[in-house]
């Protein structure tokens, strides 16, 4: 192998590992932002006296508008031919939007809820514009056989940081009396701004890998929708979209249910979410390894059943400590579902089309989430009948759980695994989650860079004429 080729390979591998490292730091910083920002948005809306319909709109409309913007985000990748240049400015813009959100009650006291929906939508559009570029870039940085393990570790560390951030944010709000709670929210959202800015700094230190651009014309969004059930990736998108519809039929309304009907404090409210984060810390890496071994589709088959039971548990108890356990179970289930959904996208779509198909995926999923949230909000606001249950919220919880199971049963069987993986039954896969050792939480060291360096120096030793050239390469 020529010396220049070896040098180039070693440099590329160093850059790849550096990007993997900074991506983990980016994810951890974003998690702190989420803990002090996004996780408090529903509680902030409740404090602003938003109705159930308005809360449903707040939780679902911004992601929907953000997903639509991803079509333009995918075009930006084609225009600039550099994905990192697309990611960085929108990450910074997303950080800046937390500043006006923090002062909404003081600037717009009479239209605070509308201002929140508008500004939060703009913030989601800003961060969504960079998602196609980021997804495409990370698909090239992370090797195929390591995706489950790497993203499992990245998500697990992000959840580990999110856990104390959510708890700290909830405790912080309890320090303020009701008449000053908006000052507490303002400080929390300012912290969210700071850590999103830190995330932007880490992104700047990543390196753009080589990209292969599509030579063939790409299908438009409407062409993709027209044939959505005629191909494997389309069937996968339809499956996730249907489950998200059922999920968001109830998802936005757990916050008002806990704060208004159950009377939980802000600290209890955030601890409920923290329980889910704690479970994700434990199980995210395990799910990632299982997905690498047995395939993302098999993990989705198991977790689809698990997430279907989550809202049903809320029908049987109002006890805070029992609901902590319920949400810990939810965190374990959604960790596997979300991780395998994201990784299936990487596996099923090749690099030249990944940015565009990521946008299509997010548009469909966010549209279904929006529809679910709007329908659930309209039911709670205008029908508001508890039916056979003790609470009107229980109706949407029950419908959500049944809907998740029904939609998964209809759509998932048509989704096929795209990698060659080991076979296992759903039952054995589920119980294998609890057969782990401490090593499950430690990522195995990759020796690819070490081997390349050893090979390089062996060639140098065999040819002393190369030694002077090597000494001048300070980056080795």
Which pLDDT score is estimated for 214? 54
What whole-number distance in Å separates Cα of residue 142 and Cα of residue 347?
Answer: 11
129: three-class secondary structure by DSSP = coil
Structure tokens at 136: 């495409």
Residues 39, 266 contacting (CB under 8 angstroms): no
In the chain the domains, ranked by start, together with CATH numbers, are: 9-207+219-442 (1.20.1250.20)
CA distance 134 to 307: 27
DSSP code at position 2: -
**Which ranges of 142-229 does DSSP label H, i.e. alpha helix?**
147-174, 181-204, 221-226
Query: How many angstroms separate the CA atoms of 141 and 296, rounded?
Result: 19
Place of tokens 């790849």: 16
Contact between residue 211 and residue 136 where contact means Cβ atoms under 8 Å apart: yes
Q: How far is it, in rounded angstroms, from Cα 405 to Cα 200?
A: 39
Picking from 186, 45, 175, 196, the residue whose alpha carbon sits closest to that of residue 130 is 196
CA pair distance 123, 120, nearest whole angstrom: 5
pLDDT, residue 454, reads: 52
In this predicted structure, what is the pLDDT of residue 53? 84
Which portions of the chain are predicted below pLDDT 70? 1-10, 210-216, 351, 436-476
| pLDDT digit string, tens, across residues 385-398 | 888 888 999 999 99
Q: DSSP character for 441?
A: G
Q: What distance, in Å, lies between the first and last C-alpha atoms of the chain?
A: 18
The confidence score (pLDDT) of residue 470 equals 45
Q: At which residue do the structure tokens 């249910």 appear?
A: 257
Say how far residue 347 (Cα) sits from the centre of its chain.
17
State the residue for tokens 């356990």.
Answer: 325
Of the CA atoms within 13 Å of residue 339, those in its CB half-sphere come to: 35
Residue 89 C-beta-side C-alpha neighbours within 13 Å: 8
* pTM passes above 0.85: no
For residues 136 and 454, give the distance between their C-alpha atoms in angstroms, rounded to a whole number: 31
């Amino acid at each position: 192998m020529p010396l220049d080729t070896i040098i180039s390979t070693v440099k590329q591998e160093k850059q790849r590992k550096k990007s993997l490292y900074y991506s983990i730091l980016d994810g951890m910083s974003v998690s702190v932002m989420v803990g002090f920002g996004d996780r408090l948005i529903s509680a902030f809306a409740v404090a602003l006296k938003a109705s159930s319909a308005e809360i449903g709109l707040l939780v679902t409309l911004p992601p929907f508008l953000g997903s639509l913007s991803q079509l333009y985000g995918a075009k930006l990748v084609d225009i600039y031919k550099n994905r990192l240049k697309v990611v960085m400015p929108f990450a910074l813009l997303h950080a800046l939007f937390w500043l006006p959100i923090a002062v909404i009650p003081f600037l717009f006291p009479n239209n605070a809820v509308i201002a929140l929906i508008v500004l939060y939508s703009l913030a989601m559009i800003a961060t969504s514009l960079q998602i196609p570029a980021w997804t495409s870039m990370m698909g090239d940085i992370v090797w195929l056989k390591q995706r489950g393990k790497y993203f499992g570790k990245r998500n697990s560390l992000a959840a580990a940081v999110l856990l104390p951030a959510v708890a700290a944010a909830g405790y912080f709000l309890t320090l303020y009396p009701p008449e000053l709670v908006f000052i507490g929210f303002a400080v929390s959202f300012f912290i969210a701004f700071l850590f999103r800015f830190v995330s932007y700094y880490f992104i700047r230190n990543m390196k753009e890998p080589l990209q292969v651009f599509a030579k063939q014309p790409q299908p438009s969004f409407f062409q993709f929708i027209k044939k959505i059930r005629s191909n494997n990736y389309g069937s996968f998108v339809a499956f996730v979209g249907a489950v998200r519809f059922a999920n968001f039929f109830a998802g936005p309304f757990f916050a008002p249910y806990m704060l208004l009907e159950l009377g939980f404090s802000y600290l209890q409210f955030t601890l409920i979410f923290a329980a889910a984060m704690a479970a994700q810390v434990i199980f995210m890496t395990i799910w990632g390894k299982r997905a690498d071994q047995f395939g993302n589709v098999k993990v989705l088959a198991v977790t689809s059943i698990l997430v279907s039971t989550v809202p049903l548990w809320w029908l049987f108890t109002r006890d805070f400590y029992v609901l902590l356990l319920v949400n810990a179970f939810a965190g374990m289930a959604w960790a596997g579902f979300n991780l395998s959904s994201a990784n299936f996208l990487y596996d099923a779509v090749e690099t030249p089309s990944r940015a565009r198909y990521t946008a299509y995926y997010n548009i469909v999923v966010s549209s279904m989430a929006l529809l679910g949230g709007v329908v659930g909000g309209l039911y709670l606001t205008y029908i508001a009948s508890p039916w056979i249950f003790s609470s009107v919220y229980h109706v949407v919880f029950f419908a959500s759980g049944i809907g998740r199971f029904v939609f998964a049963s209809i759509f998932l069987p048509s989704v096929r695994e795209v990698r060659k993986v080991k076979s296992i039954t759903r039952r054995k896969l589920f119980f294998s989650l609890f057969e782990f050792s401490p090593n499950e939480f430690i990522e195995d060291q990759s020796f690819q860079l070490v081997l390349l360096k050893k090979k390089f120096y062996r060639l140098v030793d065999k040819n002393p004429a190369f030694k002077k050239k090597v000494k001048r390469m300070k980056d080795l």
